[in-house]
Amino acid sequence: MTLLELEDVTASYGSVQVLDGVSLSVPDGGAVGILGANGAGKTTTLRAISGSVRTTGRIMFDGRNIRSLRPEQVAKLGIAHVPEGRGTLGQLTVRENLRVGAYLRKDRKGVASDVDYLLDLFPQLRNRISSSASALSGGEQQMLAVCRAVMAKPRLLVLDEASLGLAPSTAKTVYQAIQRLRTDAGIAMLIVEQNANLAFTVVDSATVLETGRNVLTGSSAELRGMDEIRRAYLGA
C-alpha cells in the first residue's frame, strides 16, 4: 500500500516558485530517498509535506489529501519531521525532550516503554538522560532529534540531512539506528541526505531533484549503478 504520494506538487516562497511539479511515493513501511544538489528543492519538498510552505498539486497520506492542512494537523495524522539543523529544545533535558515528543499521546505505559526502547537503541543518550540538550555533542543532538520525532509514534518519519556536520563514524551510527527503527518499529521513512552512500544503507529507492523537478527516480540498486549518480553523489 502507498502511504504517502506527491503528485505534481509546486511550492512557492512569496512570489518565487521553487518546486515545479514534484512527484514521489513512499510505500507503507518503505524508505525513500531524495537526492539533489544544494538548492534543488529537497527541504522545500519536505516542507510541502509538513504544510509549512504554500503548495499546489496533490499530497495524499493514508488515502487523504493533506495538502492544505496546517503543520500541527499533519503531525497529528502521523508524519514526524526532523528538520535540517535538528530541532531539539536546548534548555530541556534529554528526558524532557523525549516527553515533549510524546505530548499528543495518552498511553503513559506505551510512552515509558518507547523511551526505554529508544534509549536501548541510542545508549549514548541513556548516559546523558538528565543533561540539557544544548550540552550534547552534535551527534547526540541528532540522535535526540530523531528520538523525539519517534516518540510521537509516527507512521512516517521525514528526515532532513541527518548526517550534516557529523563525523563519519557518528553519522554511520545514526543511520544504523535509523535502519533499526525502520525494521523493528516499521516506521516508513522519507530521507533527504547529502551523503548518498549513507542514504543508500537505508532507502529502497530514491528520486533525484534538479531545480525543483524530478529528473530521475529508481531503486537504490539502479541508481547506484548509474555513472552520473556515482559521479555526482557517491564520490566515485
* Chain positions contacting ligand ATP, by CB under 6 A: 13, 16, 18, 36, 38-44
Between 114 and 193, CB nearer to ligand ATP: 193
Between 1 and 16, CB nearer to ligand ATP: 16
Mask: binding to Mg ion, 209-228, rule CB under 5 A, as x and -?
--------------------
Residue type, 162: A
| Among Mg ion, ligand ATP, none, residue 101 binds (CB under 5-8 Å by kind) | none
| Among Mg ion, ligand ATP, none, residue 102 binds (CB under 5-8 Å by kind) | none
Measured from each CB, the residue nearest to Mg ion is: 43
Check: CB of residue 209 under 8 Å from CB of residue 233. Answer: no
C-alpha cell at 121: 537503541
To ligand ATP, the closest distance from the beta carbon of 95 in angstroms equals: 31
To ligand ATP, the closest distance from the beta carbon of 197 in angstroms equals: 16
Between 15 and 130, CB nearer to ligand ATP: 15
Range 36-55, binding Mg ion (CB under 5 A):
42-43
| Among Mg ion, ligand ATP, none, residue 36 binds (CB under 5-8 Å by kind) | ligand ATP
| Among ligand ATP, Mg ion, none, residue 130 binds (CB under 5-8 Å by kind) | none
To ligand ATP, the closest distance from the beta carbon of 14 in angstroms equals: 7
Q: Which residue from 50, 29, 51, 154 is spatially nearest to 104, judged by alpha carbons?
A: 154
| Among Mg ion, ligand ATP, none, residue 18 binds (CB under 5-8 Å by kind) | ligand ATP
Between 22 and 119, CB nearer to Mg ion: 22
163 touching Mg ion, by CB under 5 A: no
C-alpha cell at 59: 499530497
Q: Which residues of this protein are in contact with Mg ion, per CB under 5 A?
A: 42-43
